A and B are shown apart, each in its own frame.
Chain A
Amino acid sequence: MVCESWKERLDIYLDGELPDEEMRTFDAHVRNCPSCSADALSRVQFRRAIHLAGKRFTPSAEFRNRIQQSIASKPRRAFRLGWMLAAAAAVVLVVGTLTSTYRGNRSDRDQVFSEIADLHVATLASASPVDVISTDRHTVKPWFQGKIPFAFNLPELQNSEFSLLGGRMTYLEQTPGAHLIYDVRKHHISVFVFQERSLPARLTDSSLKPAKLSFNMETWSQGGLRYFVIGDASAVDIDSLARLFKTAS
């Protein structure tokens, strides 16, 4: 067996745990060896199946609340002295009027990101994150026909580090949309696509930027559609995937 020595280390290669130099050598070999590339593909499919099957159990909402309450930090008072509180109250009257609009907008913004982040997290935590399991965009895109009231393009991923895992239907504020899940170096990224005119105005503000979010996110409008790209991957990866979508649309 010519490739036996390679195959012994194939799992370590796929886990991304080989030293950089060896990783590059392996990349080159797998690309040129039909036997090793077929084996690698088979193993990747097997792992993907384990990954999806392994996300099996979801805690109940009641249990989640109990745990969250048990470790939630208590609200802190900003001022200790009574006269400072009185002074602050007076200031609030003046400043409150000036800032209410800003706070309102920020609150709306944060809510948008929370909703998108919730959709992303809830899907990844579910036992069946995707309804159409395929790495082929020509399989995933037609699956949405008749399920959502618009069409969209999926980018070509050859020569990129992204891979498509599949898709599912989703809803944001009662608006149907497409939810696609991509993988990049073991990070999952969600791409949401909605018809812009169907979404409430607060969700279609182009200046939307997350105020404080543990995920990276990009959103833009193109061809009457609103796109959200979110995940725990680096901002560079989120931006790269967003650019692929912008080019494809």
Chain B
Amino acid sequence: MDVSGANLQLDSFEELAIPLFDRLYNFAHWLTQNRDEAEDLVRETYVKALKGFSSFQLGTNFRAWIYCILRNTFLTSRKGLKARMTVPIDFDEEEEGPESAIERDTPETLLLARSGHELLQKAIDELPLHFREILLLCEVEEMSYQEISDTLAVPIGTVMSRLSRARQTLRNQLRPQLQQEAGLRILRGTNHGL
């Protein structure tokens, strides 16, 4: 046998890591909000992951593991530290009334579908980091609560409450913009479907 353990390890890493490249980059760009910084973040993540791959247990959740590395790398960067400073210390302990989570957005949702992605992308961009990342992990990366819990290193209960508040915050941020957009459309006479 001339197949070295190192080569086997490299093969496994490549097989696991390359398919996640586009998604990791997308997530990194959302976090950093800058192409160059996103590239640096992804590059550093791959370097760290490759270096630490021997500690990764094959068969466990590689995706959560590498996302966790990317997020931790970001949080220790200058931009990440700055973003953390803006998070209220007790943001997960805030109680949320049930009513705020059950508002309907049918007209806004319809308008959202018509207005393209720009309004939504802008609103996601403006979310605080802790809401932006959990929303992206759930809605875009389609991670389970357990995977999100592993990635963010928080209990599942926190995942549920933070996710609920992230969705609500996004709705609240969108509402005035969508109402304004709806008004403009009515003025222009282009809002026949609503």
Most buried by B among A15, A17, A53: A53
- Measured CB to CB, the closest approach of chain A to B137, in angstroms, equals 10
**Contact, CB under 8 Å: B22 / A59:** yes
> Which of A7, A17, A56, A80 has a CB less than 8 Å from the CB of B29?
A56
List, in ascending order, chain A residues with CB within 8 A of B171's CB: 46
Q: Does A73 contact B (CB under 8 A)?
A: yes
**Contact, CB under 8 Å: B124 / A53:** yes
Decide: A64 near B21, CB < 8 A? Known: A42-B104, A56-B30: yes
CA distance A51 to B110 in the complex (A): 15
CA distance A214 to B15 in the complex (A): 10
CA distance A80 to B4 in the complex (A): 13
| Chain B binding surface SS class | helix
- How many residues on chain A are close to B (CB under 8 Å)? 47
Q: Does B138 contact A (CB under 8 A)?
A: yes
List, in ascending order, chain B residues with CB within 8 A of A15's CB: 138, 145, 163
**Contact, CB under 8 Å: A71 / B121:** no
The segment from B36-44, B72-80, B87-95, B182-190 found at the interface with A is B36-44
Interface size class of B (residues with CB under 8 A): 35 or more
List, in ascending order, chain B residues with CB within 8 A of A64's CB: 21
Tally A-B pairs: CB < 8 A.
128
> Which of B7, B42, B43 has a CB less than 8 Å from the CB of A73?
B7
Decide: A73 near B109, CB < 8 A? Known: A10-B102, A53-B117, A56-B117: no
**Contact, CB under 8 Å: B121 / A53:** yes
> Which of B10, B19, B29, B106 has a CB less than 8 Å from the CB of A214?
B19
17 contacts between A and B (CB under 8 A): A8-B101, A11-B101, A17-B160, A38-B106, A45-B113, A50-B120, A50-B139, A51-B142, A54-B135, A57-B25, A58-B26, A64-B21, A71-B18, A77-B2, A121-B22, A125-B23, A127-B117
Instruction: Give B contacts to A, CB under 8 Å.
Output: 2-3, 7, 10-11, 13-14, 17-19, 21-23, 25-26, 29-30, 35, 38-39, 42-43, 46, 50, 98, 101-102, 104-106, 109-110, 112-113, 117, 120-121, 124, 135-136, 138-140, 142, 144-145, 160, 163-164, 167, 170-171
Instruction: Give A contacts to B, CB under 8 Å.
Output: 4, 7-8, 10-12, 15-17, 38-39, 42, 45-47, 49-59, 63-64, 66-68, 70-74, 76-78, 80, 121, 125, 127-128, 133, 186, 214
